[in-house]
Chain A
Amino acid sequence: MNGLSAQKLKALQLLTQPKDSQLISHVNSCVHCGLCAESCMYYVATNDERFVPALKVDLLSTIYQRYSTVTGKFLPRLVKARELDDATIQEMVDLFFGSCTLCGRCTLHCSIGVDITYLVRVGRAMLASMGFVPATLQSTVNAALQTGNNMAIPTEDFTSTLSWLEDELRNEVQDPQASIPLNQPDVNVLYTLNPREPRFFPLSISAMAKIFYAAKESWTLSTFMYDVTNYAYFSCNLEEAVKIAERLFNETTNLRAKRCVLAECGHGSRAFRWEAPNYLQKLFSFDTLTSVELLAEYIREGRIKVDKDKNQETVTLHDPCNLVREGGIVDEQRYVLNHTTTTFVEMTPHGLDNLCCGGGGGQLSMSEYGDRRMKIGELKAEQIRKTGAATVVTPCHNCVDQLIQINNRFKLGVNIKTLAEIVADALVLDQPAVTPSPTQKA
């Protein structure tokens, strides 16, 4: 390793000094059968051999071999072992950041069982340690680190949006006591948001507030830390991922909330439910669950009443990869849709096998790869078209964003909704026992 810069040496440490046997197990297992190709949206959409997932494994594995194995050190040509030079780094950026949504389909279908997504994340972590995270993705991480949310929404703007939404909620449910509580300690639920909600999709906040109202839930939002996302999970900069995760952990702990409910955000829920305890090396004392699980729980336990006749259009479901394939939430959203819509049809394939929409892995923020993202979105467009659905539901705001773009680009003419919006539309509210609100009095 003589002659390598300090940055490269730091990156190589991630490969050559593993903390456990996971890395060496996966990096030594690929047999180059190439049968993973058809499981990757990038390969299927473009037919470009560079995008075969095994090549991503190979890229990492050949660097590993060069610096960690006898064969790679003394007979590098035998295994195509390669140096961590500038050309290799550029290829890593293009393959690990530019052509992978971390959707995990290739892993699930690998003939051997190589966790390809994990290896891509190791590759991204190496790039992050050398400062090669695409600037667009890094700026999203920086916004979160500097302002507390990835869209850099000032607190005043956030609170004024919530205040307006609270008025709307009171009018809609005709109850002046209805509220969107802020920074309340000792509640049952601390609810989080994807910053896209206050910025672009405030109706999804209204929908969830209405559901909490109907369920008579003890809940709150925090104005200090409400951002469920953690884009450092995508950039794979561990230090930054820890900082972002720690904020939500601290806020939940400070408010003494019993449950931290993660908004409809695939990667956000994965990053906090599954990765954050490992980032922080802590067992969480509070429950962490997704809003999808909470909605199913409310319906199952009769805490909210729903009438499926209120949603009569044909509805299909897009399964977010991080929530489903990487998070195990498969049945809950189907349970909810079967209770809140009259005509729910599945895509083919769906569930664990569902195709990624193209917006995952930080792709939505990496505009330099936008063309590729929309190219693979065509596969999702076809899947949606074949269902004949009028509405596509997805419990993930990144997916919502990508699906809206797919809808426009491929002229699908469908509505895109979150699960909470569907549930809110189907809610049957008790008659309000109310005194008229100040606005009504006026």
Chain B
Amino acid sequence: MTWYHYLAAGAFLLCLISLLSHLIRLVRLGAPNDYSRRRGNVGSAIVFSFLGAMSPAKKESAYLHLPTYTAGLLYHIGTFVSIALFFLLFFNIQPAAWIRWGVIGLLAVSGLSGVGILVKRTTVKKLRLLSSPDDYISNILVTVFQFLTLVLLIQEAFAPFYFLGASLLLLYFPLGKLKHALYFFAARYHLGFFYGWRGIWPARKS
């Protein structure tokens, strides 16, 4: 273990504790108690909320903005892959060469998607109005993390920079919008419950 391994492990632990405290609060507060007479199937609506309702065909936010939607999707895939690789790389486990080059390609695309999203945020007026420093910092940290993962897969000597970048991201994670990684699931649960209780979801053809 080197200093940067300790740093990354500490940052990960702090991030985990903080996110766990958010999760515990969510669970302790619990779901709302609805006294109205249920009309639909809540279980299937919650499943629909996470699957069918997320399809681009169901959301204007996706089908009216396909390039942004695609970039966002790739960016998130790149993030998940980078997080998974963080654990492997921490224990110095290198993926097989053919996987490595596939991942490098994916991270190049997802990282560029992140840059594209950042450019859009800085150039589109309505997004600038919406954005706080947190939005820019979050985007930069995640994008840099993806590029650092990519570089480390090519050049192992880059490890100190990689773990420093990962630690910064992990320490920042609970402070701002990146928390949506946790709250997203809670929000979609509530939305599925709401629409399912009233028989609105799963959507039927009208």
Contacts and interface: CB of A to CB of B under 8 A. Distances in A.
Interface of A: 18-22, 24-26, 28-39, 49-50, 52, 54-55, 58, 62, 70-71, 75, 77-80, 107-115, 118, 273-278, 280-284, 287-288, 325-328, 330-331, 334, 350-353
Contact of B72 (A33, A79, A327, A328): A33
Given A28-B179, A33-B72, A352-B206, A54 B130 contact: yes
B161 interface: no
A76 B4 CA distance: 30
Given A21-B29, A115-B191, A273-B36, 8 more contacts: A21-B190, A25-B26, A34-B130, A50-B129, A110-B59, A112-B188, A283-B35, A328-B198
B200 interface: yes
Contacts, number: 178
Contacts of A18: 29
Interface in B72-130: 72, 121, 124-127, 129-130
Contacts of A108: 59
A21 B39 contact: no
Contacts of B20: none
A59 to B, nearest CB: 11
A35 to B, nearest CB: 4
Nearest to A36: B61
A58 B134 CA distance: 13
Interface stretch (B6-14, B62-70, B144-152): B62-70
Interface of B: 22, 25-27, 29-37, 39-40, 49, 53, 59-62, 64-65, 68-69, 72, 121, 124-127, 129-135, 137, 175-177, 179-180, 183-184, 186-191, 194-195, 198-200, 203-204, 206
27 contacts: A18-B29, A19-B29, A19-B32, A22-B31, A25-B190, A29-B187, A30-B180, A32-B127, A33-B68, A33-B72, A35-B60, A49-B129, A71-B176, A78-B176, A79-B134, A108-B59, A109-B59, A111-B72, A112-B187, A112-B188, A113-B49, A276-B36, A277-B36, A284-B37, A326-B198, A328-B39, A330-B206
A113 B29 contact: no
A21 B24 CA distance: 11
Nearest to A330: B206
A286 to B, nearest CB: 10
B180 A29 contact: yes
A71 B31 CA distance: 26
